[in-house]
Every structure is written in C-alpha cells, then in structure tokens.
Amino acid sequence: MKVAISATGNDLNAFVDPRFGRCPFFILIDPENMEYEVIRNEASQSMGGAGIKAAQTVIKSGAGAVITGNMGPNAFAVLKAEGVKIYAGVSGKIKDVIQQFKEGKLKESESASVERHFGMRK
Amino acid sequence: MILSIASGKGGTGKTTVAVNLAISLEDVQLLDCDVEEPNANIFVKADLKRIETIYREVPDFDLEKCNLCGACADFCAYNAIAVTSKKLIFFPELCHSCGGCGLVCRENAIRWRRKEIGEIYRGCKDGIEIYQGKLKVGESIPIPVIRRMKELIDRSKNVIIDSPPGAGCPFIESVKGSDFCLLVTEPTPFGLYDLKIAVEVVRKLKVPFGVVVNKDGGGYKEVDLFCRSEGIPILLRIPHSEEIARLYSLGVPFSSQKRRWKEEFERLFESIEDLR
Ligand code: SF4
Ligand code: SF4
C-alpha cells in the first residue's frame, strides 16, 4: 500500500506540511522499499475547497493512506468515501514519520482535526 | 438620486451615516445591502415583513445515471464536487452556480434544483421605506441578494444604499450604478489604508464620491492630507463624542435627538446634489 504525505518540500528530508489542502507537494511513498514519487498539489492555489481537490489528487494517486498535519471535514469525508486511511495530527521529518508508520506508531484519525476554512488566508 | 454609503472595512460608522441621512430627508428608500450583517433597522425600528425569498440553482445528481467518470469534479473551479470510485459527493456551500458541471456531464446525470440563499424584508417607519437583505447562514455568495435588492429601487425617491464593508464583489455590486458614493472612514492608519483601496475601486466604477470622517478629532492628519492631495472632498466630520457613542449603543440615531445634526445631514445631502 502506498502512502501520501503532505510535504513542505520534494524529498524525504522535507517535513510534514501541517496543511493538507494547501501543502505544496504530496510525497507518494511505498514504505516497503522506500521508493517514492513527488506529486504537485494543484489544490494549493485554488480559491476554495482546496481540501476537497487535494483529496481527489490523493485518490487518483492510488494511495491507501494519508499522513498529514491538519485535515478539514470535507477532505476527510471524501477520503473516507474512498476508504483511504487517514493519519492526521502528525509532524516531523518525513523520513522519521515513515519509520513511525512502519512500526505502527501512528494512530488512525476517526474525525477531521480542524474546522472548515482552516488554513485559508482571509 | 441613488446614494451609496460604503467603507473599506466594517465598523467605521457606515450604517450610522446611512441611517442619520435617511431620517434627515423626506421620501427615503433605505436599502440595507450589508446582507451578511444587516443592522440598519436596529436604528430605524420598522416592523419588517418578509417579501421575497432568493434562490440560486445548484446541481442535483441523478445517481442512477452517474457513472462516476469525474468530469464534473475536474471541471468545477470551486471544488464543490468530489468523485470517488464509490460515490459522488456534492458540497452545495462551495458551489457558485456557474452551470458548468451540467455542460460537461455526458450521462445527463445533472438536473437543477433551487437552493434558498437569502431573504428580503420590507418595512416603513417615519417616511422611510426600508429594505433589508439577509443572507442565509452558511451561504457565502451575497451577490444575487444584492442584485435583487437593487431591482426594488424606486428612482423617484431618495435612495440610500448601506453597502457591505470591504472593497470586494459585494461592495462593487451595491455601489455600481449609484449617482454618488459616500466613503466613511476613521482618522487612523487603518482607516486610511482601507480608504485608499475603496477610493481606487469607486474610481474604476466611475461613481462620483466624497468622504465622511467619523470619530474625528484625534490629531491624525493623514486622511485629510490624502484627500487634499487627491482632490477628494471631505463632506462631513462627525466628532469622536461620548454623547454620540451613547446614543449609538442605545440604537438611537443621533440626528433624531439633535436638531443641529439633522441640519448637518440635510446640508450634506445638498452638497452632494451640488457635486453631481
Ligand atoms: S454549478 Fe459550477 S460551481 Fe456549482 S458544482 Fe457545478 S461546476 Fe461547480
Ligand atoms: S460528469 Fe456526470 S457522470 Fe461524470 S461523475 Fe459527474 S455527474 Fe457523474
């Protein structure tokens, strides 16, 4: 199963971006062999509904799980409908976070971590 | 004459000016277009009745026909639609009713339904006919309500429009087509900053305008200097006064209590007529 991580940069030394919808990149990684690809998050530029669009991007990538900082209810609903596992509230260097994931130390989220419109600049 | 009262941000005294003008004139139509937070009637105190409900069209998905191709979701610039491999999810509050998803769907799975977005109320009190637009909670697009409000304008009257704060689309929608715009500001650095933005927008709309300085007297001179250098007339100054603030908090327009201020607002109106 591949995992999509909201990332501040485009390699494994980047950090988990706290914003799911508006992160610049997703790192799509296979934890088994640590092979990864970088996906640009087009939603980071959208006017509204960034979380929804980012969720669609993740679904299209074929990821079975998402690791991120904060996720709003809309994105959460979309990912859940696809059956994608969500690990929100995570921070740190992506390398280390993947390690924690492999060791089963991350906890699956049962609901969205933030209200609507979090991360939107007013 | 259609006169809109506006300001670059909320809380500058825009509604105060609109209401005091309204009660100082005869035969007035007052349109409260600040539909997200209409509060002119706190001061007018008319008995409001709902006269209209405003709707917009949003897509209604026929899930029998939909094959989850995702074309509508890809098209929607507002990300109001998400399509997963198992179902389609629609977020009506993000939809801007552009109609595009219906054009790209090849399965004919999209029909339209009406969604209530706001209401218009009307009341009369002491020669003021007040209209109040109210956006439903959770709705973020006030334009259709404002547009409908403006269709109710009776040009034979003195029309005063209390515009939404800010200098975005709702502001433009309510100010455009006015014969004159009064920009209300406060003599502070923030007030000046917002005033400059509002001035730019009003100029683009080609609506003649002037400035009202509210809470005047603090010694900050930059608003005056800016207006002078730009050739913008300052038409009224309302001093920073405890008496005015007290009446405001009681929901009483100060010109209804003070003869002098009623005359000041009458004079303000005359000077606007001269400027047009
Ligand atoms: S009408 Fe326009 S904004 Fe609304 S869902 Fe369809 S494409 Fe999106
Ligand atoms: S475009 Fe039509 S068929 Fe395709 S997902 Fe949207 S509603 Fe369904």
Would you state the pLDDT for residue A37?
96
Q: Confidence class of residue A119 from pLDDT cuts 50, 70 and 90? A: low
Domain B2-54+119-275 grouped into CATH 3.20.20.140: no
Strand order of the β-sheet with B209-216 is B49-61, B110-125, B128-135, B28-32, B158-162, B2-6, B180-185, B209-216, B234-239
Opening angle at CA B162, ends A116 and B254, nearest 5: 115
What CATH number is associated with residue A29?
3.30.420.130
Give the CATH fold of the B63-108 domain: Alpha-Beta Plaits (3.30.70)
State which residues form the domain around A89.
3-120
DSSP reduced 3-state for B204? helix
Q: What is the pLDDT of residue A122?
A: 36
Q: To the nearest whole angstrom, how far is the Cα of B227 from the nearest Cα of chain A?
A: 28
**B45: alpha, beta or left, given left = phi > 0 and alpha = psi -120 to 50?**
left
* pTM of the entire predicted model: 0.76
By the 8 A CB rule, do A30 and A36 touch?
yes
d(CA B72, CA B63): 13
List Cβ neighbours of A44 (8 Å cut-off, separation of 6 or more): A21, A22, A23, A24, A50, A54
Binned at pLDDT 50, 70 and 90, residue A121 comes out as very low
Tens-place pLDDT, residues B212-269: 999 998 889 999 999 999 999 999 999 998 888 888 888 888 888 888 999 999 999 9
CB–CB of A112/A71 below 8 Å? Answer: yes
User: Tokens 């995702």 — which residue?
Assistant: B70
Minimal Cβ distance to B84: which of A43, A50, A78: A78
Calpha distance A14→B67 (Å, rounded): 39
pLDDT, tens digit, 9 for 90 and up, residues A14-38 = 999 999 999 999 999 999 999 999 9
H helix intervals, chain A: 50-61, 73-82, 94-102
Cα–Cα distance between B239 and B244 in angstroms, integer? Answer: 9
pLDDT at A118: 56
Size of interface A-B (CB pairs under 8 A): 42
Q: State CA B27 to chain mean position distance.
A: 21
For A62-84, the pLDDT digits (tens) are 999 999 999 999 999 999 999 99
What are the angstrom distances between the C-alpha of A16 and each of A3, B60, B227, B266? Answer: 13, 37, 49, 62
- Token readout for A76 is 């959460």
More confident residue, A111 or B91: B91
Among A residues 59-118, those touching chain B with beta carbons less than 8 Å apart? 59, 74, 77-78, 81-83
- Atom index in ligand 1 nearest the CA of residue B99 equals 1
Domain boundaries of chain B, sorted by first residue = 2-54+119-275, 63-108
Q: Does B87 touch chain A (CB under 8 A)?
A: yes
DSSP readout, B23-89?
HHSSSEEEEE--TTS--THHHH----EEEEEEEEEEEEE-TTT-----HHHHH-TT--EEE-SS-EE
- Average pLDDT, consecutive stretches of 10 residues, N- to C-terminus, chain B (276 residues): 91 90 94 94 95 95 96 95 95 92 96 95 95 90 93 95 91 95 95 95 96 91 95 94 88 88 93 87
What residues are in contact with ligand 1 under a 6 Å CB criterion?
Answer: B 59, 75-76, 78, 80-81, 95-101
Percent pLDDT > 90 in chain A is 85
ipTM (interface pTM): 0.82
Count of domains observed in chain A: 1
Q: Give the integer Cα–Cα distance in Å for B141 and B152.
A: 19
